[in-house]
Every structure is written in structure tokens, then in C-alpha cells.
Chains A and B, each alone.
Chain A
Amino acid sequence: MDLVKRDWHLFNIKGEYFLFNSLGSLYQLDEEGAKAVVSLFNGLRDPYVSEETYREIEEILNLHNPIRIYTDENLTLKSLCINVSHSCNMACDYCFTRHNLSPNESLMPLEIAYRAIDFLFKSSKDIKNIEIDFFGGEPLLNLDVIRKASIYGKEKAKEFGKHLRITLTTNGLLLDEKTLAILDELEISIVLSLDGGRGVHNKFRHLANGKESFNYVLPNAIELARRRQDGGYYIRGTYTAETINFSDSFKELVDLGFKYISLEPVVTDDYKISIKKEHIPILRIEYERIAEECLKNDVKFFHFELPFEEGACLPRLARGCGAGVEYMAVTPNGEIYPCHQFVGYTQFRLGEINKETIDQGLIERFIQLNNIDSKPICKECWARYLCGGGCLANNFNINQNIEEPYRVGCEIQKLRLEYALWLRAKRMEVKV
């Protein structure tokens, strides 16, 4: 009886043992069951564990025979990040786009936005569900282009029998009622950056003139949540080494009335605020507190909302984020990059929207990188089919190598998955 670590993960949360199979099955074990699993991981049999326990484990192993995964080589672009602005009205300390931001106004002309949408429609071929995401800088500095490009995209979707989803990521400063009404009408999902309560938010998120931003952002965020009680928004915050107790921020956001929340670790080489290996035990406590809060309240923490039974098929789970293949980003002047995080790094420039020429060699490289089996570390990881192999841009930013996983990010991802699984178990009120 083989229990292979790459396919099975035993973990303990709050004194309870769980066994997870990489394909998505979850079991709760008593202490003897956990001892049996540990012995099998070591290729042994524990003489103090009964044969009956080993038989039970054998039963679940028989349900999980190795599956051959067929990777689909005919991938097409279906999601486009449109950077409608490389200007910003804020100056957050940890912003990764700062090297791209222009001191002068740098907004995407409408014609380039139209050509970007044409590029998406043409490249997506027969795929019915396609997406655009307005990003920046601060995209709302270019609201008129967002509005006209969305209308153009929706009309084109109708014409070609496609379903176009639109998202916008904003700092919330310009999200007044008039703007919200436009975005509501166009059914644009919104990701709004708010790091937590006043103190945490103001620590890093400053206005362009250096002043605090919380008082300007909060009323707009509250109005957004009031209008979209059925979803359509996520409040996303960034936590850093200096704001590591982010479960407090989560509670503050819940108390402010937000139901859809996502808190993300900062990814930076700034030693002072970067998340390091030694922070992992603290993060475990923080994620545990958030999971407990989600159990008590009707609130969605993005990383714990895994659809499982309604989730993606195995061929999809065996692939990564799609950067450079299914997902690309366009800059205000029409340059194409594998994703919004690679913008400005010319070695990853794929082409130009006006020239319709794409660097096929670079695309082939990204196709390869999107295959989990191409990465030795990912291939051996129990979390591979829930993770997808991590963020290639993070690999580049931290390790200067897109092929080398950002290991702290891997640990954070695994922690989040454990608590997502624990929450799933608790929501089902399973008792052994």
C-alpha cells in the first residue's frame, strides 16, 4: 500500500486531523488514522495501529488511482488586462507598478482600447466566455475610455455570440455615485483596494500629495458594498511584515459591513516590509482567525471560497494562470505583455496591438511554463491542482527567474488551502 506525499497531505488544525488528496478529496481522521498515515508515508506499518485502520485507508486509496492528464496544446487568448492608465492619483509605498507610472498624464487613447478588444475577440476564436480587466495606474482616471470600450465590447459580444465579463481594479478615490452608476449599468465587477481600518490603510496607501487616503476611500467603498449586496465587488487589501496581524484588518472590514474580502501578502524585495519564511507561523494564526470569522459570519474570504464539486476539470487544474497564453496585458500605448505584472520589462514584450505580430517563441515558453508538470517543485507538491503553479511574475520579481517558484508564496498558498479545507469541513459540521 503506497501513500505518496505528492498526492496526499496530512494536516492538523485545532487538534483535528485531515487527509487531503490532490485531486480534491478530503477526509477527517482520528488519532489512530493519522498515525497510520504517518507510518505509510514512511513506508512502514505501525505495530500499535490496528489492521482495521489500515484497511480503511486502503479503501480510500483504491478510490484514487493515478489519472493520466492530457494537456491541451491548442490554447487561445480569452482574457485581456487593459491598462487604460499609467497615471495614478495615489502613491502607495509598496506599489509594483511604480516603475511604469508616468509623472505626466499617460492614458490609453480610445482607439487603442478598441483595437485591444478587437485583438481579444479575434484571438479567442470559438471560446464563448471572454474577459477584460481595466487596470492601471488608476483606471478611473480614464473613465470615458472605460465606458466607451465596455459598450463597444458588449456590442461586439452580442454580434459574435460571446459572453464578455468586465472587471476593474481601483483605489476607490474616484468611485463616486455617478461613476458607480455607470459601472453598475455596464455590470463591471470591481476590486477595490482597502487595507483594513484607518491606521493600517494609511500606513502605506497615500494620496499622490503624500496625505492619508482612508477618509476619501472609505465612503466610496461603503457605498459600493451597499449597492452590491449580491456580489460584484471584492475589497482587497495588502498586508506586509509591518501589518502582519491582518486578521484584525479582516475583522475591521467585516465590522464596516463588507462581505466580500481578500487580503494579500505584499510581494516586494523591500526587506523591511516583505513577508519572510519566519512569518509563516504568524500567518497560520492569522489565517486561522479569519477562517473562524468566516465560520461565524456570512462573509466570503476569497481564498477560502473554493467551489470543489463545481470546480474546474482536471486538464484545467493541471495548468497555471494562463499568463502569456490565455491571458495578456496591453499598455496605454498598445504594447502587449504576458500579464499586467510583466509590463515594462521589455524582455517579456510580446508585441504591439497595432501591428498584429506576436513573439511566438515567447508564447511557446509561457505555454511550457503554464504546465505544472514542467516545474519539478510543483510536480511534487500536494497543492498543485488547487494552486496552478503560482505567479510567474512573482517568481521573476523575487528570484529574477520565472521558472523558480517564489517559495514563501508557496507556503502561504498551502496555508490558505489548509484553512479553506478546514472551513469546508466545519461548514459541513462533520464529526468523527
Chain B
Amino acid sequence: MGKHIKVIMESPIAKSEEKKNCQECQTPCRSACKTSMTVGNLVCEVKKPLGKWTW
């Protein structure tokens, strides 16, 4: 981008037009007794449907 700032990634959602969640992604259970999943771990089912395994 410039001399002092380098782009590592630009958010696709910053320009997103999506207004409604299709609800097809997983539920991100934050509990440490499982794997403390967060919304950040979620994969969008539309962009990349998961394979046979849950994660």
C-alpha cells in the first residue's frame, strides 16, 4: 500500500452487503471443556461447506 503500511489482509466483510445471516454455519460453543470455539473460528457454509468432519 505504501511506505509505512503493508496490507496483510483486507476484510471481505468490510464491504459486505450481507444483511441477514442464513444460519447455516455451526454454533461456536465458547466452553473450554470442548475447544472454546469462537465466532472467529466459524467457516461460512456458503463460501466453503465443511467436509465430513465438524471443523
Contact = CB atoms under 8 A, between A and B. Distances in A.
A234 B35 contact: yes
27 contacts: A19-B5, A24-B9, A24-B13, A33-B4, A79-B27, A129-B24, A165-B26, A231-B51, A234-B55, A238-B32, A262-B35, A264-B33, A266-B32, A307-B42, A311-B42, A312-B39, A314-B13, A315-B19, A316-B23, A316-B42, A317-B39, A322-B27, A387-B38, A390-B30, A413-B38, A424-B9, A428-B8
A127 B23 contact: yes
Contact of B50 (A32, A165, A309): A165
Given A165-B50, A322-B27, A310 B32 contact: no
In the complex, the 8 A-B pairs of residues with the closest C-beta atoms, listed nearest first: A386-B40, A24-B11, A388-B39, A264-B32, A391-B30, A33-B4, A315-B21, A56-B2
A191 B54 CA distance: 11
Q: Which applies to chain B's interface (DSSP): helix, strand, loop or mixed?
A: loop
Contacts of B39: 312, 316-317, 319-320, 385-388
B23 A72 contact: yes
A136 B54 CA distance: 19
Given A23-B11, A52-B3, A191-B34, A326 B40 contact: no
Size category of the A interface is 35 or more
A26 B8 contact: yes
Interface stretch (A196-204, A244-252, A298-306): A298-306
Contacts of A191: 34-35
Interface residues of B, number: 52
A132 to B, nearest CB: 10
Contact of B3 (A56, A96, A169): A56
A326 B27 CA distance: 7
A265 interface: yes
A387 B41 CA distance: 9
Nearest to A431: B6
Contacts of A59: 1-2
A23 B13 contact: yes
A96 B5 contact: no
Interface in B6-52: 6-16, 18-45, 47-48, 50-52
B51 to A, nearest CB: 8
B29 A25 contact: no
Contacts of B37: 302
Contact of A63 (B14, B42, B43): B14
Contacts of A19: 5
A76 to B, nearest CB: 7
Contact of A430 (B8, B11, B16): B8
A131 interface: yes
Nearest to B52: A187
Contacts of B9: 24-26, 308-309, 424, 428
A315 B27 contact: no
Nearest to B24: A129
Contact of A312 (B5, B29, B31, B42): B42
Given A56-B5, A129-B26, A315-B21, A236 B31 contact: no
Given A56-B5, A310-B47, A387 B40 contact: yes
Contacts of B25: 129, 312, 316
Given A313-B21, A321-B29, 11 more contacts: A19-B5, A21-B14, A76-B23, A79-B26, A187-B52, A307-B42, A308-B9, A310-B44, A311-B42, A316-B25, A393-B31
Contacts of A216: none
Nearest to A427: B8
Contacts of A30: 3-4
B54 A341 contact: no
A243 to B, nearest CB: 14
